[in-house]
Structure 1
Amino acid sequence: MTPLTRALVLRWYFAVGGALLGFVVAIALSSTVTPQFRATSKIWISISGDAESSALDLAQGTNAAQQRIHSYLDLVPQPIVLQPVIDELHLDVKASELARSVSATSPTGSVVMQIAVTSPDRQRVAEITDSIVRSFSSVVQDRLDANASGVGVTVTQTSPAARPTTPVAPRTRANAALGGAAGAGLGVLAAFLRWALDTKVRGRDEVQELWDLPVLGDIGFDPEASKQPLVLRDARASARAEAFRSLRTNVQFLASRPEGARTLAITSSRPSEGKTTTAANLAVALAESGLRTVVIDADLRRPNLANVFGIEGSAGLSDILVGRVELADVLQPWGRAGLSVIPSGTVPPNPSELVGSPAFTALIEDVAALFDVVIVDTPPLGSVTDAALVSRAVQNMLLVVASGRVRRAEVSSSIESLATVGASVQGVVVTMARSRGARDAYAVYGADVPPETQRSHRSAVPGSTSEVTP
C-alpha cells in the first residue's frame, strides 16, 4: 500500500463525512424548491383531402405534414396558441410566462407531436395541457392551413393529458445521490490535500516506509505523561507500561558487540518528543528483567532525568568529565531492581566539548564494564550536535519519533546528522501514537487488576514512602 493510499484509507472519515454532508445538503436544497408537475399529451398531424384528391396528393401531403412539424413545434408556445388558453381557464399569467412552462417535441421523421406543460399546480396542469392542444388544433386547422384546394391539416389528440401523481422536480433521490457522490469526492480531495500539506510523521507504518528503519516500540499518547512519566512505577498494568516492556524485549535483540556491555543512546529530532521518558522507562524495564542497568543524563543543556526519577541532580556527568568528582560519587542506585542513575550534574558552558571529549568515551567504557546495559539520554539532534558526538561512544542509537508532532524533514535531517559522523539509527521508538485499538484491547485485558496491585510494585525513590518488590 502506497503512502497516499494508506493516508486516504486512514482518513476514510473525510469521504464518509463529505458524502453525508452532500446528502443532507442536497435534500435540504431540494426541500426548498417548489414541486413541479408535468402533464403530456400526444397529437397526430395528418393531411386530409376531398374525393377528387389522388393518392399522390395524399402522399405528398404526408411529406408536407412531416416538414411542417418543425414549424408547429415553434408555434405551440406562441401567444396565438396560449392566449386563448389563458382566456378559457382564466389563468393569472401572461402568455410569455406560460410559454416558459410549455414544450413541444417530435421524433425525426414522425408526424406525432408531444406537448408537455410543467406547473406547480398539480390539479390544473393536465387541464392546461389539453386546452393548449385544443387551441393549437384550432389555430392550425381553422386559421393557418385552411386552403381552397380541398387538402387541409388535421390535428388529432391521440393521448389526452393525465393528472400527474409525482413531481418531476425537484428530483430529491437523484439530487441526494448526486450530492452524496459529490460530497464523497470532495472528501477524498480534502483527504488528499490534508496528506499533501501535512508534513508531520503519522505512525509507525510511515516510519518504516519512508526510512526503512525498524520500529522497536510504539508508545501510545497519554495527556498525563508529563505528570506521571514513570508508568512502569505509577501505572504498571497500563497499556503504555506494556508498550515499554515490548520495547525492552526488542532492544535486547539489537545487534551488539560480543564483548562488554550493551550501550545505547536515545535521542530525538526536536524537544518534547518523549526521549527522556522513553530512556527512563526503558531503563526501569531492563532492570526489572534482571539486567544491571545504568541510565546517564547526557543532556547537559536541559537536563530532566533527575526530575523524572526524583533524585538529586546537582552533581553528575559534567562533574565527572571535568574531574571534579569520581564515578562512584554520583552513581545513584534507584529502586531494588538493579538500576542506577547518573544525573547530568552542573550545567556546563561547553556541553558539546564535554560529550565529545575522550573523557566521555572513557567513562562509557568504564560504566559498560560495571553494568549489563548502558542507556544515554541525549539532547535532540535538530537543536545541537551533542547527540551525534555521543553516538561515537555507544554501540546503538535509538531515535524517538513523536507521531503527529515531528516533521518528516526533521527526522531525515536527524538521520543525516548521524550519518555524517559515521553513525546510524538502529531502531525507532514511535511515541504519542494515537492508535486506540491496541491500547483499548490491553486496557480490557488489564481492567481487573486492582489499584493496590499497581501501587505495590512502585519503585522506591529517595524521599518517597512507596516501595518496589524485588
Structure 2
Amino acid sequence: MELRESLRVVRRNWAVIAVIVLVGTVGGLAATWIIPEAWESKTTVAFEAVQSGGSMQDELQANNLIAQQLPTYAQLALTSEVLQPVIEELGLDVPSYELAKDLTVEPSATGGALITITAGADTGEEAAALAGAIADELISAVSTTVTGPDGQSGGITGRVVDPAFVPDVRAVPILWLDLVIGFGAGLVIAFTVVAVREVLNRRIRGPRDLDRADLPPLIGTVPRQRRLAPADLVGLAETPALADAFQRLRIAIGASARAASEAQRPDASRAAPDASPATRVIVVVAVEPRAGATTVAAGLATAAADSGQRVALVDADLRAPAIGALETEPVEGGGLAGFLDGTGSAAGLATEVAPGLRLVRTAPAAEGGSEALGSTRMAAALDALARDADLIVIDGGAVTAVADPLLLAPFADAYLVVARAGSSTVDELAAATRAVLSAGATVAGVVLNRVPARGPDAAA
C-alpha cells in the first residue's frame, strides 16, 4: 500500500483509531491501579579462592575454577538448602519453591566471580532484607576451607560487594511504562482493526475506490447535498456545486457516449428508425434503489438544456416513478405508461418545464406493463421526442432490482451507471455493469453520487 493510500485510510478511520488507542492508554493507566505493587532489591556477591602458601599461578587457577562454578552456585541459591534457612530467619510463610519464583540469580557475564541476586517483595524493606539474607546464606553454603597434608589451607570464600538497599521506586507497576504499553497495544489493535475493515468493507466510499480494472471508468461525481425533494430536480442548476458537477458530466459524456456507441454499432442505427442521427439517447440507471439515478438524470438534462441543447427528460421507471412527482397534478392519460399500454396518446406526452427542457412523466404501470419498455410503442415515443430534441435522457431506475432498464438497451446510445458513495458496493456496481453489457448496451461510465466535499474520500 502506497504512503498516500495509507494516509487516506488513516484519515478515513481516524475516529476508530483514536478511540481504540484511547481505550488502550486508559487500560494502561488502569493497570497501575490493578496490578499489585512489587519492590525489588539487588545485592552482589563475590567469590574467590583462599590459599595459605602456594604460588600465584595456583591461586589464579583456583579463581578460574570458581568462575566456572558460578552457574552452579546460582542454582544453589534457588534451592531449599539456601532458601529454607532464610524463610526461618525472616519468618516467611511461604515454601521455598514459591519463594524462588520471586528471585533472580545471575552470574556475571562480564568476567569475575560475581553473582547478582534480585529479590522481589511486597515492600522495599522486605525486598532488601530478603536479598541480604539470601546473599549471606549463599556465602555460608559455598564457603569452604580445606587443610592439606603439608599444612597449607585453601578453599572458597565469599563476600558482599554491593549490599542490598531499600529501593526508592517500586518495580511494578510503573506508570509511564504501563501508559506506553497501553498506547502501543491500542495502536497495534487499532491498525489491525482498520486493516480488517478495509479488506472486508466493499462499499464505495470515494472516487479512488473505483480505480479498478474490472469496473467502467468514473465519468463524473456529484457532491453530497441535502436531500432533494422532487420539485428541486429541475432547479438543480441553481445550486452552484451541483450545477458545476453536472456540466462536467455533460462535457465528459459528450464524446465518450458517441465514441463508444459508434465503436459498438458502426451504422449508429437505433430501434427508433425515424430518430434524427444527431439525437443521443442516454439511459441513467442505479446500482441500487435510492442511489440517485433520478438526481443524475435530472441534473444532466438540466445542464444540457442550460448549455443550449434541446433536451427531453423521460421518467421510464414504471414501477416507482420519481420524476413524475415533479408536478402535483395527476399524470394525464397515464403519461408514458399510458402511451405504452395504448390507453394514452402521444399528444401532450412531453411538457416543457424549463427553456429547452421537456419532461415526460409517467404513472405507475399496471402489473407486467413495464415489459412495454422494449416495444415498438417505446420506439415510437422516442421517435416523437427526437424530432425536437438533441438529447434524450431516460431515468431507468435501479438495474439490479428489476430487469426493466435493460429493455431500453436497443434504443440507447449509452448507459450511465450511478452508484452512491458510502452505500453502494463494488460488487453491486460490477453486477450492474455486467447486466447492462449482457443486454448488448454500452456503458459510458460510472457516476458516483453523494461524494463528500471534504475529507479522504472527496473528489480530487
**Structure 1 length-normalised TM:** 0.79
Within the candidate set 393, 410, 419, 1:392 is matched to 410
1:429 Cα deviation after fit: 1.5
1:409-428 equivalences under 5 Å are: 409-428=427-446
Stretches of structure 2 lacking an aligned partner (at least 5 in a row): 259-267, 269-275
1:303 Cα deviation after fit: 1.8
Question: Do the aligned partners of 1:260 and 1:369 also contact (CA within 8 Å) in 2?
Answer: no
1:100 Cα deviation after fit: 2.9
Residue 355 of structure 1: aligned partner: 373
Q: Against the structure 1 CA distance between its residues 32 and 389, is the aligned structure 2 distance closer, same or farther, given a 3 Å change threshold?
A: same
Q: Against the structure 1 CA distance between its residues 44 and 349, is the aligned structure 2 distance closer, same or farther, given a 3 Å change threshold?
A: closer
Q: Quick one: distance in 2 between partners of 1:438 and 1:205? A: 10
1:187 Cα deviation after fit: 2.6
Asked if residue 204 in structure 1 is aligned to residue 207 in structure 2, the reply is yes
Stretches of structure 1 lacking an aligned partner (at least 5 in a row): 442-470
- In the alignment of these two chains, the number of paired residues is 435
Asked if residue 111 in structure 1 is aligned to residue 118 in structure 2, the reply is no
1:250-399 equivalences under 5 Å are: 250-256=252-258, 259-315=277-333, 316-334=335-353, 336-345=354-363, 347-399=365-417
1:212 Cα deviation after fit: 4.6
Residue 29 of structure 1: aligned partner: 31
1:296 Cα deviation after fit: 1.1
AA at the equivalent of 1:307:
A
1:221 Cα deviation after fit: 3.9
Q: Against the structure 1 CA distance between its residues 437 and 148, is the aligned structure 2 distance closer, same or farther, given a 3 Å change threshold?
A: closer
1:125-274 equivalences under 5 Å are: 125-141=127-143, 145-149=144-148, 150-222=153-225, 224-225=227-228, 227=229, 230=232, 233=235, 236-237=238-239, 239-240=241-242, 242-256=244-258, 259-274=277-292
1:14-53 equivalences under 5 Å are: 14-51=16-53, 53=54
| 305-314 or 1-10: bigger deviation | 1-10
- Tell me which stretches of 4 or more aligned residues in structure 1 moved more than 6 Å: 1-4, 438-441
Q: Against the structure 1 CA distance between its residues 167 and 370, is the aligned structure 2 distance closer, same or farther, given a 3 Å change threshold?
A: same
AA at the equivalent of 1:61:
A
Q: Against the structure 1 CA distance between its residues 253 and 17, is the aligned structure 2 distance closer, same or farther, given a 3 Å change threshold?
A: farther
1:238 Cα deviation after fit: 6.2
Cα-to-partner distance string for 1:237-287 (whole Å, 9 max, x where unaligned)? 464454344434434454437942232111123322121232223323332
Q: Against the structure 1 CA distance between its residues 275 and 311, is the aligned structure 2 distance closer, same or farther, given a 3 Å change threshold?
A: farther
Residue 446 of structure 1: aligned partner: none
1:18 Cα deviation after fit: 3.7
Q: Secondary structure at the match of 1:377?
A: strand
Question: Do the aligned partners of 1:217 and 1:243 also contact (CA within 8 Å) in 2?
Answer: yes
Q: Quick one: distance in 2 between partners of 1:43 and 1:353? A: 97
**Structure 2 length-normalised TM:** 0.81
Q: Against the structure 1 CA distance between its residues 6 and 364, is the aligned structure 2 distance closer, same or farther, given a 3 Å change threshold?
A: farther
Q: Quick one: distance in 2 between partners of 1:343 and 1:295? A: 9
Question: Do the aligned partners of 1:17 and 1:184 also contact (CA within 8 Å) in 2?
Answer: no
Q: Quick one: distance in 2 between partners of 1:43 and 1:6? A: 55
1:12 Cα deviation after fit: 4.2
1:71-110 equivalences under 5 Å are: 71-86=72-87, 95-107=96-108, 110=112
Q: Against the structure 1 CA distance between its residues 229 and 170, is the aligned structure 2 distance closer, same or farther, given a 3 Å change threshold?
A: farther
1:374 Cα deviation after fit: 1.3
Cα-to-partner distance string for 1:405-463 (whole Å, 9 max, x where unaligned)? 3333332222222222321110222123345349999xxxxxxxxxxxxxxxxxxxxxx
Q: Quick one: distance in 1 between partners of 2:35 and 2:376? A: 82
1:349 Cα deviation after fit: 4.0
| 215-224 or 83-92: bigger deviation | 83-92
Q: Quick one: distance in 2 between partners of 1:235 and 1:373? A: 17
Question: Do the aligned partners of 2:452 and 2:458 also contact (CA within 8 Å) in 1?
Answer: no
Question: Do the aligned partners of 1:352 and 1:385 also contact (CA within 8 Å) in 2?
Answer: no
Question: Do the aligned partners of 1:231 and 1:240 also contact (CA within 8 Å) in 2?
Answer: no
1:398 Cα deviation after fit: 0.9
Identity in percent: 25
Q: Quick one: distance in 2 between partners of 1:21 and 1:377? A: 49
AA at the equivalent of 2:437:
A
Residue 466 of structure 1: aligned partner: none
Question: Do the aligned partners of 2:451 and 2:457 also contact (CA within 8 Å) in 1?
Answer: no
Q: Quick one: distance in 1 between partners of 2:121 and 2:209? A: 59
